[in-house]
Amino acid sequence: MAPGTNLPIRYWLRSVRIGLLVTVLVIAVLILLPFLPNQAHIQIVPYLGVLTAGAAGGVVIALLPWEGLFERGVGMYVLYGWSAVDILLVSVGIAVSGGGRSEMFLIYGLTTVFFGISYPLAGQAALLAFTFACYLVALGTTGWQVDAAALLARLSSLFILTVLTSFLSRELMVQVSAQEQSRQNAERWAALLSTVAESAHSMTLDPERVFEVALDSILGLGFQRGAVCVLDEDGRTYRVLQAHGLPPDVAARLDPAALAVTSLVLQTGKPVVVDDERWEGALPLVQDAGLVSMVAAPIWAEGWLQAVLLGGSRDAPHLSDRELEAFQLLGAQAGMALQNARQFEAEHRTVERLEELDQLKNDFLATVSHELRTPVTVIQGSGLTLERMWDSLDDKTRRDLLAGLTSNARVLNDLITNLLDLSRLEAGNPQTIFGRTNVSDLLLGTADRLALLLADHPLQVDVERGLIVEADPLLIERVAENLLTNAAKHTQPGTRVKLSARPMDGSVVVAVEDEGPGIPEEELAHVGERFFRGGEINTRKRGLGLGLAIASEILELHGSQLEVDSEVGRGTRFSFRLPLRGAERIPPSLLYGT
């Protein structure tokens, strides 16, 4: 490890530097010592040898690659050796500079302070004992020259200095370590917040991309595995929507919503942390991924728990509070981004719908103006012609003009009636009379009444007799009429049209089928909307597009709906259901008198 990332290495490197500085200063002072008064007892040649050895040792120490030595784990042994050599050199210096009278004993204090601040207690005790032994040997080789009281005082001072230095060093180390830990925690927290902030900056208005950014940010937080689990619509299973670093088959499977860590989040709506001790069953098929811890956080959007964000670590069996908080922030942020994305989608759909409605309004105005203008023009033209040229016209021409006037007046009346009917239905003010209705007779009567309209279309009637429903007969007749008219209008002459009514599951299913051109898929969703008319604008049939809209509104009053099945080139089938009254039919014996 490089210095700056590991406190002991940084501390020991500073200890080496201060040790070298003190060595230089001591050698400089000792060089001057023989030239001071009353130093005749110093043996100059051995003394200079000791200084030379000390200087050479200092050069070697200065050249050693201490950072690399500490990283390889041998730096402390070299440091111990340096201290031992220093103690030996000081002891030799004492022996050649007067023994018990030598002032070099004070240098023991420097070496004691050095190992007191650099080594653990066991190392300090060993080096202190080594210092005592070396000093006693130096005294013994020079005839002692010191009384017992002075020796005790000197050795005791070294012991006390060691204790004091060791205590102060440990206190300093605790403070420095705490500051270093605080700095590392602050840097880690800043890095976590930076990752979360960068994630917020990268969030988009695409819901799928929101989850991708969240997973990338999980890796940025230091996790090696990540996944997003979503609860399926049935509420009983969940699946992995997206994943990083997990087995490929995990994303393809469904798991019970009551299983493992995801279920805990789904049940409580709160983050869940799983460590190595409670890992069994944390998430199916993930135990073999080499993870030792996992955290799961809920993703809330629009007030609902939308998904669960998972992060797994292979080398951190326990997550810190800061990491958990950052993970929760990421989950909350993903929820906000998801909510914004969905709101944007909803607003975008609203804008598109408003544009469609605006276009529909324009089409309606253009259509109404055209559909109303045409009969009005014919009526006005026929009326003026009759008014101005009555006497000069023969009877046949008069009758033709009157017939055209009447026909177009009927068309105009139908248009206005349809508009008024739809307005009443949408306003919820229809004139309805519900009662026992023989829908079979009603449909057969409608088919007979529209025989002239369907003269060019072979009509197949397949209506089972005796089907009784609770309905407004006039409104249901209107629905059947509109469906048959729609089939005749939008298919070529000669196209077969089928009207059917059959009981099914307690209901009567009424259907009108044709073998016409069919309805394009993109238009199916708009079938039944007021004023909607499909096809090319230049080839559309005349009309306001109200027939199917009125039919849909009437069926809604009856608790039913208009169903459409169509295939381009194969034809279209319109159908609706009405509940059988009492789930019974009229017996055939009563119908046919058998």
On the CB side of 162, CA atoms within 13 Å amount to 23
pLDDT digits (tens, 9 = 90+) for 141-153: 988 888 889 999 9
Asked if residue 246 and residue 116 are part of one domain, the reply reads no
d(CA 572, CA 517) in angstroms, rounded, equals 8
Residue 450, domain CATH: 3.30.565.10
Condensed to tens digits (0 to 9), the pLDDT of residues 258-309 reads 446 666 676 667 777 776 545 455 454 445 556 667 788 887 777 777 778 7
Percent of the residues in the chain that have a pLDDT greater than 90, as a whole number: 22
* Burial zone of 482 (CB within 10 Å; 0-12 exposed, 13-18 middle, 19+ buried): buried
What's the structural domain count of the chain?
3
Residue 448 pLDDT greater than 50, yes or no: yes
Q: Which amino acid is at 393?
A: L
In this predicted structure, the answer to whether residue 594 has a pLDDT above a threshold of 50 is no
Query: What pLDDT is recorded for position 276?
Result: 52
- More confident site: 163 or 271: 163
Residues 6+ apart with CB under 8 A from 569: 517, 518
**Residue 427 forms part of a structural domain:** no
- 221 with 115, same domain? no
Asked whether residue 245 is assigned to any structural domain, the reply reads yes
Where a domain ends, among 310, 342, 374? 342
Same domain, 177 and 208: no
* Contact call for residues 273 and 294 (beta carbons, < 8 A): yes
CA distance 534 to 537: 8
> How do residues 397-436 score in pLDDT, each as one tens digit?
878 878 877 877 776 776 677 666 656 655 665 667 788 9
Q: What is the pLDDT of residue 219?
A: 74
Q: Are residues 155 and 227 in the same domain?
A: no
Kindly state the average pLDDT of the residues 87-91.
93
Cα–Cα separations (whole angstroms), residue 187 to 176, 183, 192, 311, 538: 16, 6, 9, 21, 70
**Whole-angstrom Cα distance, residue 237 to residue 253?**
10
Give the model's confidence band at 128: pLDDT under 50 very low, under 70 low, under 90 confident, else very high. Answer: very high
Question: Which of 137, 154, 183 is where one domain is finished?
Answer: 183
More confident residue, 542 or 490: 490
At 198 the pLDDT is 65
Q: Give tens-digit pLDDT for 556-586.
A: 888 899 899 988 888 999 999 999 875 455 4
Whether 348 maps to a domain, the answer reads no
Asked if 30 and 137 sit in the same domain, the reply is yes
Q: Is the pLDDT of residue 251 over 80?
A: no
Give percent of the chain above pLDDT 70: 73
Residues 288 and 318 in one domain: yes
Tell me: do 97 and 230 sit in the same domain.
no
In a domain, 487, yes or no: yes
Residue 5 has pLDDT above 50, yes or no: no
Do 329 and 248 share a structural domain?
yes
pLDDT top residue among 172 and 81: 81
25/173 same-domain check? yes
Q: Are 174 and 258 within one domain?
A: no
Is 283:295 a contact under the CB 8 Å cutoff?
no
Is 370 inside a domain boundary? no
Domain housing 168: 7-183
Pairing relationship of beta strands 507-514 and 237-244 according to DSSP bridges: unpaired
For residue 588, what pLDDT is reported? 45
**Which residues, 6+ apart, have CB-to-CB distance to 95 below 8 Å?**
102, 138, 141, 142
Mean model confidence pLDDT for the chain: 78
pLDDT band at 249 (very low <50, low <70, confident <90, very high): low
Q: Confidence class of residue 593 from pLDDT cuts 50, 70 and 90?
A: very low
- Of the ranges 135-144, 216-225, 312-321, 447-456, which one carries the lowest mean pLDDT score? 312-321
Domain C-terminal end among 321, 342, 363: 342
Task: With cut-offs at 50, 70 and 90, classify the pLDDT of residue 317.
Answer: low
Q: Is residue 293 part of a domain?
A: yes
Tokens of 164: 């004091």
Q: Are both 23 and 130 inside the same structural domain? A: yes
The answer to whether position 413 is within a domain reads no
The three-class DSSP label of residue 220 is helix
- Please compute the mean of the pLDDT values over residues 527-534 and round it to a whole number: 63
**CB atoms near residue 361 (< 10 Å):** 11
The pLDDT value given to residue 3? 39
Answer yes or no: is 381 within a domain: no
pLDDT tens figures, 195-223: 666 665 566 656 667 777 777 777 777 77
Looking at the structure, tell me whether residues 177 and 36 fall in a common domain.
Answer: yes
Global model pTM greater than 0.85: no
